Amino acid sequence: MVEIKVLTDVLKANDAIAEQNRKKFEESNVAVFNLIGSPGAGKTSVLEVVIERLKGEYRIGVIEGDIATSRDAERIAKLGVETLQINTRGACHLDANLIASALSEFPYQDLDLLFIENVGNLICPAGYALGEEAKIVVISVPEGQDKPAKYPVIFRNASLMLLNKIDLLPYCDFDIEAMKNDALAVNPDLEVTATSCTTGEGVEEWVTWLRSKMQQRNSKG
């Protein structure tokens, strides 16, 4: 019997590739946001509303991650921005290597702002860095207010929580303040914005959040 000391982080291979992606994004000065949320939370919808408002200001691209179909990419492509669909064929998350391969056929160098829409899932994508500047967790009112308490890791790792479908609040037993408190207990630095892509309520705040992130980057040089 021989014991071999290994002491290797199991996700190290992913993290190393994520770091290479991050360097590429930095060299091209492109801001990258990784959107994570449950299936049906409205990840594509929150992208549509913000792209419509910001595509005149920034050169925007979107990488869409789904298990199958190119439906989300087709929706985004209608807005006239660079779009690429990744199909994971069953995998529950995007990993850094999938993004690295996608970058070889995607003109990210020509962008100011790149959104990566992850596979709909609150658990697995939280553990896989892609090389992004920040994670945005998208959550919707009908899912219930207990998501931060039940899925703490993604809320701990995210910079922004986008609470979507607030037009449905009158029909749901949902306490926004209680949800915010749960989310802030897990991550006191988490910023929170509430939106409805149907009525447009809160969309301006979501746009403002992104614009301020872009301005912070530019002022850093």
Partner 1 sequence: MHELSIASNLIDIVKQATEGQDVSRVTSLRIVIGDMSNVVPDCLTFAFGVVSKGTMAENARLDFEKKPLKGRCGDCGKEFPIREYMFRCAECESPKIEVISGREFFLESIECE
> Given the rule CB under 8 A, which residues bind partner 1?
1-11, 13-14, 90-93, 95, 123-124, 126-127, 149, 152-153, 156, 184-188
Question: What is the smallest separation between the CB atom of 7 and partner 1, expressed in angstroms?
Answer: 6
* Residue 31 in tokens: 């801001």
Nearest to partner 1 of 169, 186 (CB atom): 186
Q: Which is nearer to partner 1, 14 or 198 (CB)?
A: 14
What one-character DSSP code corresponds to residue 158?
-
Task: Give the number of other Cβ atoms within 10 Å of residue 95's Cβ.
Answer: 21
What span, in angstroms and rounded, lies between the C-alpha atoms of 81 and 60? 6
* 208 burial level (CB within 10 Å; 0-12, 13-18, 19+): exposed
Q: How far is the CB of 110 from partner 1 (least distance, A)?
A: 31
The distance of closest approach from Cβ of residue 60 to partner 1 in the complex, given in angstroms and rounded to an integer, is: 30
Helical packing angle, 96-103 and 12-27, nearest 10°: 40
Closest CB 149 distance from partner 1, rounded Å: 7
Question: Among residues 72 and 95, whose Cβ is nearest to partner 1?
Answer: 95
Of the two residues 183 and 203, which places its CB atom closer to partner 1 in the complex?
183
CA 75 to chain centre: 17
